[in-house]
Chain A
């Protein structure tokens, strides 16, 4: 039996051959609405913070079987292996790194090759913001840099080096938190039903 990530790796390799060669950063968020399910949004920016691509999922409702069989790990399965994987694979740009404000989505790193890094920070959320899925608290490796705290799953610690290489080499001053506000606005445009109750 193939591990789900295997087919993803093949698919990703195929897609990478067609991806553009400009430096771009991914910003991924997953939100969980109490009744409408999970919403994933993925924004690809260049180093000047200009949008290159935006992808979002249709609302994802886990099946009853998934609810039972994944149990407490359901949020991570849906956020990482399903939504993060689906969205990152859709990117046509060559992604240096994907930042996420959703810890539960870090499991998406198991099923695709692009470094997936959680980032802490605060931004002015609207009253319509819905909550994040829950992470089960895997062992993380973290560093603090700039005004942020970056975290990865411990087995992907080397991904953290990519941040240094990226920003040092390109002298980018992009705000890494602000794009999540844009994703939220875009999700509300695409799915007005995603507003908080």
Chain B
């Protein structure tokens, strides 16, 4: 027996590399001295090694040291999560009424001809799954897992039966997944990618899941009605309250718990500062639209928004940096005070902000969006304009030079503005090379049934343009148009086929408007900062645009306009290279040195010290 059966066992024991085990084979006895500090029960060994051998060991060998395999189960860690409410799911009674009776013949579930639509699957209409990612500053594993383990957004949307006016783009779902778990965030998508929709949908989902109950949205005054309209479109079931009216009315609205979303404008916050500072208000979330409004952290507006008691803070802006990284630091003073410092190295700042800022550009996410076609209109001044320009420049430069050390940047600005105005219209005769070109272009645009937006930085210029374009039935949208009439102007431009052109100032028309039905934009004169020009252009070139947008940038050659243009283009190239590398842009506007340099002047010592 030992020879026939035991040889297998001996072979097994000998071949197996068991340094921790000491085997002893006698004629009819096996001794196992130890086994990895845990005893093994003989029958278990044998059942795995050799059934016959087991019998042999049990029946033949009288003395076996039992060794047991440990029965301890692996150690686990676990978490239970609060169950989210059922949101828009049918009530119990509705559910009972629509309950299907089981089909005894052939269960529908198993019928390949009736495939069930699965939440989150490609069949459900969403081409991809969008998962929430926990923010980097969330430390506890349980908190992180709470977000990691939530269903994909598409599943939540479907199970909650949330409807949208149109299916969001995948990058917009990513934006919602970015905002949803964050207490501090900047959504810095390029203009026209739908920041408003992403913010509203996230707010909607957070309200429906009871993660929020009170939200304050602060935006520039002209955009309040736009936000109201967008909320009605994207979250029609969410009650809104616009903070407006006299003090008593505003006081009531501020404290009205019936409306979970309140909309205020920046200007109004100044008036209601006492209410905000009273300590009676508390918001789960404060959202700043066009957050570049607080880029000056010492401004009263910035101080007030920072003082609003809140749990979460989001900033929406297409231009988180308009002039310098200090703009971004100021926005972070609202999001997370002290997190960024002005003296941080650009690269460190880029790394520090990476988890808080989401920025996408159209060329990256909307590869099939019609392009922007830039058409430079480099124009020679008319004879009258050139004469006026030359005289004004020579006189101005002489004056500046004579001022010596007492010259200030304001003096230089005044000269720049005077020259730029001459580039638009000759002050004596009203002659304008730009207008001649514009009229010719407008004839063509109107003849093809299209409309155009014309931007200028001066209302006076807009008025002069309008008077020459009467045949196109122009509309005006600038700072002198009362805010309660502005929506009507936009509606008219959109719906009245006879209104072929709208004249806008950069200040009033550069942000928040959706004019994607218009495919021609004219920049009659140039703004100081390309970021503002981009915002203006993107009123037309935004989501929903059906065809390419043609942007005509008018510039008078051999003038101050060309000198400014050259400096800004150089800086734009620098910005593009820095932004690609670090995610944070540099100063895009003109520095003091560059402004003085427009006329070949050096910065006076006095201005340097300032």
Contact = CB atoms under 8 A, between A and B. Distances in A.
A50 B89 CA distance: 13
Interface in A142-197: 143-147, 163-164, 167-169, 171, 173-176, 178, 181-182, 185-186, 189-190
Given A86-B73, A189-B145, A173 B119 contact: yes
Contact of B102 (A1, A169, A190): A169
Contact of B141 (A87, A147, A175, A190): A190
Interface in B98-129: 99-100, 102-103, 107-110, 112, 115-121, 129
Contacts of B35: 65
A83 B95 CA distance: 38
Nearest to B41: A1
A54 B78 contact: yes
Contacts of B119: 49, 173-175
Interface residues of B, number: 62
A51 B41 contact: no
Nearest to A57: B74
A186 B16 CA distance: 38
Interface stretch (B148-156, B480-488, B516-524): B148-156
Nearest to A144: B112
Contacts of A173: 116-119, 158-159
A53 interface: yes
Contacts of A51: 81, 146, 149-151
A40 B20 CA distance: 29
A154 B79 CA distance: 33
Interface in B67-112: 67, 69-71, 73-81, 83-84, 86, 89, 95, 99-100, 102-103, 107-110, 112
A90 B70 CA distance: 20
A55 B35 CA distance: 32
B77 A146 contact: no
A66 interface: yes
A35 B131 CA distance: 29
Interface string B24-51: 0000000000011010110111001100
A103 B9 CA distance: 31
A189 B141 contact: yes
A64 interface: yes
B571 interface: no
A125 B79 CA distance: 24
A176 B77 CA distance: 24
A50 B151 CA distance: 6
B129 A178 contact: yes
Interface in A120-146: 124, 143-146
Nearest to B158: A173
A190 B151 contact: no
A4 to B, nearest CB: 6
A59 B95 CA distance: 43
B20 to A, nearest CB: 7
Given A70-B48, A147-B118, A175-B121, A52 B80 contact: yes
A7 B86 CA distance: 38
A40 B129 contact: no
Contact of A69 (B49, B76, B83, B150): B49
A90 B18 contact: no
A182 B149 contact: yes
A56 B45 contact: no
Contacts of A70: 48
Contacts, number: 162
A4 B78 CA distance: 23
Given A48-B159, A50-B83, A171-B100, A43 B149 contact: yes
B74 A58 contact: yes
A69 B69 contact: yes
Given A52-B81, A55-B76, A182-B149, A175 B110 contact: no
B144 interface: yes
Nearest to A38: B74
Contacts of B141: 189-190
Interface SS of B by simple majority: loop
Contact of B74 (A53, A86, A144, A178): A86
A69 B144 contact: no
Given A4-B71, A63-B36, A63-B38, A57 B76 contact: yes
A50 B208 CA distance: 14
Interface string B158-175: 110000000000000000
A58 B75 contact: yes
B109 A164 contact: yes
A66 B69 contact: yes
Given A50-B150, A175-B121, A64 B20 contact: yes
Contacts of A60: 74
Contacts of A53: 78-81
B38 A54 contact: no
Contacts of A71: 48
Contacts of B144: 189
B565 to A, nearest CB: 47
A185 B110 CA distance: 31
A22 B45 CA distance: 43
B109 A168 contact: yes
B466 to A, nearest CB: 56
A24 B596 CA distance: 71
Contacts of A43: 149
A57 B89 CA distance: 34
B78 A146 contact: no
Interface in B280-329: none
B15 to A, nearest CB: 10
A147 B71 CA distance: 38
Nearest to A123: B129
Interface string B352-391: 0000000000000000000000000000000000000000
Contacts of A168: 100, 102-103, 107-109
B41 to A, nearest CB: 7
A8 to B, nearest CB: 9
21 contacts: A4-B71, A50-B81, A51-B149, A54-B78, A57-B75, A58-B74, A64-B20, A64-B36, A65-B40, A66-B69, A73-B48, A90-B76, A92-B80, A144-B112, A147-B118, A168-B107, A178-B129, A185-B148, A186-B149, A189-B141, A190-B145
Given A65-B38, A182-B148, 19 more contacts: A51-B146, A51-B151, A57-B76, A63-B36, A64-B20, A64-B36, A69-B48, A146-B109, A146-B115, A146-B118, A173-B117, A173-B159, A175-B120, A175-B155, A178-B121, A178-B129, A182-B131, A182-B150, A189-B134
Closest 4 pairs (CB-CB, A-B): A55-B78, A86-B73, A51-B149, A49-B151
Interface of B: 16, 18, 20, 35-36, 38, 40-41, 43-45, 48-49, 67, 69-71, 73-81, 83-84, 86, 89, 95, 99-100, 102-103, 107-110, 112, 115-121, 129, 131, 134, 141, 144-146, 148-152, 155, 158-159
